[in-house]
Structure 1
Amino acid sequence: METAEPVRRTLEIEEVTNLYFIHPIASRLTPLFAALRIPPNAVSVAGMVFGILAGVAYHHYQDPRNVIAAFVLMIAWHVMDGADGQLARLTNAQSATGKVLDGICDYVTFIAVYSGLALSLSGQYGGEAWILVIAAGLCHILQSAAYEVQRQEYNFWGLGRKSAEFVALTVPRRAIAAGPPMQRLADFVHRAYVRIQFLAAGVTVEFHQRLTVALTAHPDRDAAIREQYRRTFAPLVRQWSVMSANYRTLGIFVFALAGAPQYYFWLEIVGGSVISVALLRKRQARYRSFFEGLGMADEPPVALSMRTAE
């Protein structure tokens, strides 16, 4: 069965636990799901169910057996979360609806886990526990969005792969308005979600304009420019993987098993924010060094028309 995109995600920037554990398991399940004609969205929902059950187990984190059960359930969610994307690419079933549903399932999983822990912690700390958990959740959203955009941008510019995220911002609104009602709703939500991701990641229109101009003005250098992009940004994208859901799952497990999940939330608020700011600053420096490597350091950005994104 042919597919327009690789079934597995980009290996050179993949997070190590995905590379050697989660995605190999998902890869074994994906052909089975395809043979059984299970749609990718059903796999996403199944993963979400595992996540919700993990939240129920974490509500009783005082018993180590529940913590271990919750961790196993979250691993199952990670596997399903990897398999739904692989299945969509294998069967050419990618869609804006699937992207939105996948994001919703991810957030529902962490909302369930965070809520389960908050309910338990509120018995000891009262309403302050909910304030702590909600603040951590907001930081989680911003940090995760920034990480995902790094991956999307790398695939788009570094490898020249079609990106649903970038297409979502360039498809004219009149084209979306002409679609079926449910498709219009899914596209609208997807575009809004992508814009929030890009804002959190500090993606600048100037960088995208300048790189578009470079690729358009020098088609003979397309391969060289993309190679330069990969050399410049691949190490940074790998550093961003510390913000992946895998390490959050591991962190929750460790702190809950130690009987102090509240410290995980403080780590997410303080540690995650400090790391994110540092990585965003490094990213801006990499932008500059990238154009210096292309000999475009002093070229002003060209004001390309952005009307197609409106």
Structure 2
Amino acid sequence: MTVPPPDGSRDRRIEDPTNLWVIHPAGRALLPVALRFRVSANAVSVAGLVLGAGAAAAYASWHSRWAVLLGVLLSAGWLIADGLDGMIARATRTASPLGRMLDGLCDHGVFLLLYVVLAASVGTWDAWLLSALAGATHAVQSSLYEGERTRFHRRIKGIAAPPATPASNPLVRLYDRVAGLPDRLSRPFEKALAADPAVLATAYGERAAPVLKAMSLLTANVRVWAIAIACLMGDPRAFWWFEIVPLTLVAVIAIVRHRQVERALARPFYSTDRDPLAAALSTREHRHS
């Protein structure tokens, strides 16, 4: 089997620099080996979990600089495995719901181990409380970031979101209503994109890319470095505060800014006053009519 070139599944404009220059190149370098020996994507996901568990074990001795260095190296291995499993799944066309679930469990499992190990190493009740609060904040931030990133990659291809189908289960409907708030706020843009994807997709990509680039601060890569820096500073609690305050502000500001970009692009669809994009949309609508 030949190794495919980078598949464009991630837009480089919004990627974290360490992904661009370290993590993804390392994954692509390992991809031919994995394909040659028929290593499955699920096996790589599990290997990533093992590497992440090793990093957590190293951070149990975070008072030692050598232990922190080992934790960083093992965390880097985990991040590489996290990218490599997706590359294998796409190259072999073996992506599956089970694989996506396993990948997600491995990712969240590593951070759960890191939070627990660090809280246990500090050993105070406030450390456990702070760790739990940071973990909950992390989960919300990650969910929001993945949602925004998925929208971006879909939209730059000119694909509008299909109408949502209400679930029959009332609890699922309640969850969808809360989790789907960004989708509901984005509906005017989605309608405009569906009407004229050729114009809006390019304009959206140019204007939204800087926002999503800033939001890449919410990636696991940044958290890996933040943990190491906090431990080298002598207090893992600094990482939890970083998670709770600055990263939450990044998430909120970026999402608000993303919605502003959407509204600015969708507005000409409804009003054609002095806007070049509106003129293009109006011209296309007239031509199609």
Say whether the fold is shared (TM-score over 0.5). Answer: yes
Q: Which residue of 1 aligns with 2:65?
A: 64
Write the distance in 1 (CA, Å) between the matches of 2:83 and 2:64. 29
Write the distance in 1 (CA, Å) between the matches of 2:51 and 2:3. 30
- After superposition, the Cα gap between the structure-2 partners of 1:89 and 1:251, relative to the gap in structure 1 and judged at 3 Å, is same
Q: Does 1:203 align with 2:182?
A: yes
Write the distance in 1 (CA, Å) between the matches of 2:167 and 2:256. 33
Residue 28 (structure 1) shift: 0.6
Write the distance in 1 (CA, Å) between the matches of 2:3 and 2:176. 31
- After superposition, the Cα gap between the structure-2 partners of 1:297 and 1:22, relative to the gap in structure 1 and judged at 3 Å, is farther
Indicate if the aligned counterparts of 1:61 and 1:256 stay in contact, CA closer than 8 A. Answer: yes
Please tell me the residue identity of whatever aligns with 1:50. L
Residue aligned with 2:38, SS:
coil
Deviations 1:106-157 (A, max 9, x none): 00111111111111111xxx21111010100111111111111121111111
Indicate if the aligned counterparts of 1:57 and 1:67 stay in contact, CA closer than 8 A. Answer: yes
- After superposition, the Cα gap between the structure-2 partners of 1:171 and 1:81, relative to the gap in structure 1 and judged at 3 Å, is farther
Q: Which residue of 2 aligns with 1:127?
A: 125
Residue 290 (structure 1) shift: 1.7
Please tell me the residue identity of whatever aligns with 2:236. P
Alignment of 1:35-50 (within 5 A): 35-50=36-51
Indicate if the aligned counterparts of 2:55 and 2:70 stay in contact, CA closer than 8 A. Answer: yes
Residue aligned with 2:234, SS:
coil
Structure 2 gaps, min length 5: 273-289
Please tell me the residue identity of whatever aligns with 1:207. S
Write the distance in 2 (CA, Å) between the matches of 1:230 and 1:12. 9
Indicate if the aligned counterparts of 1:7 and 1:87 stay in contact, CA closer than 8 A. Answer: no
Deviations 1:263-297 (A, max 9, x none): 111111122222222222212212211212x4335
Residue 13 (structure 1) shift: 1.7
Q: Which residue of 2 aligns with 1:257?
A: 232
- After superposition, the Cα gap between the structure-2 partners of 1:170 and 1:204, relative to the gap in structure 1 and judged at 3 Å, is closer
Residue aligned with 2:28, SS:
helix
Residue 261 (structure 1) shift: 1.0
Write the distance in 1 (CA, Å) between the matches of 2:150 and 2:250. 20
Residue aligned with 1:60, SS:
coil
Residue aligned with 2:7, SS:
coil
Q: Which residue of 1 aligns with 2:142?
A: 144
Residue 172 (structure 1) shift: 9.7
Please tell me the residue identity of whatever aligns with 1:58. Y
TM-score (normalizing by structure 2): 0.83
Write the distance in 1 (CA, Å) between the matches of 2:238 and 2:143. 23
Structure 1 gaps, min length 5: 175-190, 299-310
Deviations 1:245-277 (A, max 9, x none): 101000100111222111111111122222222
Indicate if the aligned counterparts of 2:145 and 2:218 stay in contact, CA closer than 8 A. Answer: yes
Indicate if the aligned counterparts of 1:288 and 1:297 stay in contact, CA closer than 8 A. Answer: no
- After superposition, the Cα gap between the structure-2 partners of 1:76 and 1:119, relative to the gap in structure 1 and judged at 3 Å, is same
Please tell me the residue identity of whatever aligns with 1:31. P
Q: Which residue of 1 aligns with 2:119?
A: 118
Residue 98 (structure 1) shift: 1.3
Alignment of 1:222-301 (within 5 A): 222-292=197-267, 294-296=268-270
Q: Which moved more, 1:90-99 or 1:77-86?
A: 90-99
Residue 204 (structure 1) shift: 2.3
Q: Which residue of 2 aligns with 1:306?
A: none
Residue aligned with 1:19, SS:
helix
- After superposition, the Cα gap between the structure-2 partners of 1:86 and 1:134, relative to the gap in structure 1 and judged at 3 Å, is same
Write the distance in 2 (CA, Å) between the matches of 1:2 and 1:26. 12
Indicate if the aligned counterparts of 1:88 and 1:94 stay in contact, CA closer than 8 A. Answer: yes
TM-score (normalizing by structure 1): 0.77
Residue aligned with 1:108, SS:
helix
Q: How many residues are aligned here?
A: 266
Residue 222 (structure 1) shift: 2.4
Q: Which residue of 2 aligns with 1:102?
A: 103
